Structure 1
Amino acid sequence: MSEFPVVVAARRTPITVKGGGLAHRTAAELAAPVIRACLDDAGSAGPVGDVVLGNTMGPGGNIARVAALAAGLGVEVPGMTIDRQCGSGLAAIITAAEAVRAGDGRLRIAGGVESCSTAPTRIADGVAYRRAPFAPPGHADPDMVRAAQDLAVLDGIGRERQDAYAARSHRLAVATRERGGFAGEIVPVAGVTVDSGPRARVPALLDRFPPLFPDAGGTLTAGNSCRDSDGAAAVAIVPAGVPGLAIIATATVGCDPALPGLGPVAAVETLLKNAGRDLAEVAAIELVEAFAAQALASLTRLGLAADDDVDPRVCADGGALALGHPWGASAAVSVVRLFSRLVRAGAPAGTLGLATAAVGGGLGVAALFEVVR
């Protein structure tokens, strides 16, 4: 058995577009049923030491604590909400795993949640704004859309290649949904039982979307970019000695704030070096597909994409371009997907999985997992 903390349960809500089927659920209301499902799946894994959730644009007030109480946990169970932007869900899982490995043997629930639909409007000096700065004055501070377009220009990733990658995501996600491949991980909420994003007709429509930056010869469109979405995802983590998905290595790094989409490159390289592993050993890879251009730029640098070819290990059931991007939850969704692809699918002991995400402000987060039986 592994010496590392083990994910023994992994669940998520359906992911729906902002303003869609989950629009009237707050972040805590989205997270609570997922927390409850993870606890039920974990069975008699012992008392809960903490609930750690990532969130980026919620109302504050420690959403993890509110969600834990709403899920029926006792008042003695604390909660912690953390913000590492689009890497928040995976950062929460890493944080919880570190506590377990440090010697606290109590079960942890960790993941992320975002209700884009109910996110409050923020105001400074009487002016409403969409986001806080990712970097201080003197540093580049592009929003993630502009940064993805800059990456497309830098790497010469054209519209056709971006659209092809987005089409791949939709085709894979639709096929997975139709064969019931998401069913084991989804917790129905408010009568919603399936993801709203994957659509069979999208690949045929991608060339009709206008560019988001037409004056700059832009190649990003709404079709090859993710949709702001609502959703939650979480896992249950316990000490070593049980079957599941062991968290064997992690890495969080900084990179140029001007090109935040490249964060996964340094994170994955650092992770593999520290773990003494090679990317060729990894059977399943989940990258948060915020934008096709950003995904392709990182995957190409990692040797996982070239021209029109994408390594079949990457987001094999579709990714955020099809499912949607609930910011604080997306990187935790990646871990839930790895659990389904490896543990639920019966992969043999020793099989490796990798989750990684780019983060606004110039960060990358990654974690390496191993199946234990």
Structure 2
Amino acid sequence: MQAVIVQAKRTPFGYKNGMLKAYQPEQLAAPLIQHLCKTMVPDDVILGNVVGGGGNIARLSSLEAGLSLTIPGMTIDRQCASGLEAIRIACTLIQSGEGKMYVAGGTESISRSPMKERARFSPAWLGDPDMGDATERTAAKFSVSRQKQDDYALISWERSMSAFKNGTYTEEILPIGKWSTDEGSVKIRPIANIMQRAKPIFLPKQGTITAANSCKEADGAAAVVVMEKAEAEAKGLRPILRYAGSAVTAMNPHYPAASPIDAMKKLLQKHQLSIEDIALFEINEAFAVKVALIARTLGISYDKINKRGGALCLGHPYSASGAAMMVRLFYEAHTLPQGSYVMAAIGSGGGVGLALLCEVL
């Protein structure tokens, strides 16, 4: 059995307490599910969610979308890696013969979250640093300077601004209510002018992380349709990406920004591939230090990473971010030769790294 991705969409992303603040997570996911299931009935809906009100948000979203009462729904939490993990689970279910069609992704309304404090990532005896503190530790441990972070951040911001200007994001986005574009498109400032003036936000005196080289929290949802290849072709659907494999690893929770590195290495080794064999990478931009560190460690050119920009401008809706990366790769795949490989990688609180590999069909 081969698992393939045949459709992909995301909502616009709105900053925390911004344009999408009135929407609950199921209200963000439901329009996507309706759109992706217009002519098909999935075996299940699998969604990541991190800061919702609890319960089975995937089932709630499915019902909110008007799908059959017989579709179960499954919600998972691997923190920021949840949306990518949902897609990974759907692909492996198809490969095992358990089903033939799944909607998989993530949905997050940070604005509407009832959680007053963040969840614990690790036990107190091991230390449970906030993500900002942990990322500053990562930057210090691996010697990623403020300048290196700002250098990458400027590239990413410029790519996002170009994508807004050229309408590149339009193909990714399913409008929600009156919103058809990301909040970042109307709040972009001349980032080059403020990059060097931005002050550290976690360690005021010696810190390297600023509002310009880190993401904003955001609301949004993203999902893909994963199908068994023969089933997709029988229904007249064009497979765009074939799931080739994945890897998940973990490390010291104090250095979560470094966590995708081992997952990416493991995945490449498992498939006997090198960095040169991968045409495009999507790496979550919760912090610029993460991309700068991964690129340096693995020898990846920025030309291959996040061609459409990423969370530094668009925002980071936790569990939806990994799925949004797959949405971007889905549309970028249309520009790549058949047989090319693409990879999505993300790290999450607690020091967990996840990487997923696909072949362009």
Give the match for residue 368 of structure 1.
357
Tell me if structure 1 keeps the 8 A contact 2:138–2:254.
no
Q: Paired residue for 1:336, among 311, 327, 340?
A: 327
Q: Paired residue for 1:31, among 29, 32, 48?
A: 29
Quote the Cα distance in structure 2 between the aligned partners of 1:352 and 1:215. Answer: 41
Q: How does 1:91-130 map to 2 (within 5 A)?
A: 91-122=85-116, 130=117
Quote the Cα distance in structure 2 between the aligned partners of 1:155 and 1:266. Answer: 15
Alignment of 1:157 with 2:149, yes or no, is no
1:9-40 Cα deviation digits (max 9, x unpaired): 00000111001111100000001111122223
Letter in 2 for 1:279: I
Alignment of 1:321 with 2:309, yes or no, is no
Q: Following superposition, which runs of at least 4 residues in structure 1 exceed 6 angstroms of deviation?
A: none
Alignment of 1:282 with 2:273, yes or no, is no
Shift of 1:295: 2.1
Shift of 1:216: 4.7
Point out the more displaced range, 235-244 or 25-34. 235-244
Q: Paired residue for 2:119, among 119, 128, 132?
A: 132
Give the match for residue 61 of structure 1.
55
Give the match for residue 258 of structure 1.
254
Shift of 1:214: 4.1
| Secondary structure of 1:290's aligned partner | coil
Shift of 1:155: 2.4
Point out the more displaced range, 6-15 or 145-154. 145-154
Q: Paired residue for 2:174, among 158, 177, 187?
A: 187
Quote the Cα distance in structure 2 between the aligned partners of 1:288 and 1:7. Answer: 20
Q: Paired residue for 1:82, among 76, 79, 97?
A: 76
Tell me if structure 1 keeps the 8 A contact 2:138–2:256.
no
Q: Paired residue for 1:356, among 345, 351, 356?
A: 345
1:53-110 Cα deviation digits (max 9, x unpaired): 0011110121100111111210000101000001000000011111111103431000
Residue 190 and residue 140 in structure 1: after superposition, are their counterparts in 2 closer, same or farther (change >3 A)? same
Shift of 1:200: 5.0
Q: Report how many aligned residue pairs link the two structures.
A: 352
Alignment of 1:295 with 2:291, yes or no, is yes
> In percent, how many aligned pairs have the same letter?
38
Letter in 2 for 1:322: C
Tell me if structure 2 keeps the 8 A contact 1:282–1:354.
yes
1:272-318 Cα deviation digits (max 9, x unpaired): 111222221111110001101122122211112xxxxx520100110
| Secondary structure of 2:196's aligned partner | helix
TM-score, structure 2 length as denominator?
0.94
Alignment of 1:71 with 2:71, yes or no, is no
Gaps of 5+ in 1: 123-129, 305-309
Quote the Cα distance in structure 1 between the aligned partners of 2:143 and 2:228. Answer: 46
Quote the Cα distance in structure 1 between the aligned partners of 2:201 and 2:81. Answer: 24
Quote the Cα distance in structure 2 between the aligned partners of 1:138 and 1:14. Answer: 40
Quote the Cα distance in structure 1 between the aligned partners of 2:203 and 2:64. Answer: 46
Letter in 1 for 2:287: F
TM-score, structure 1 length as denominator?
0.91
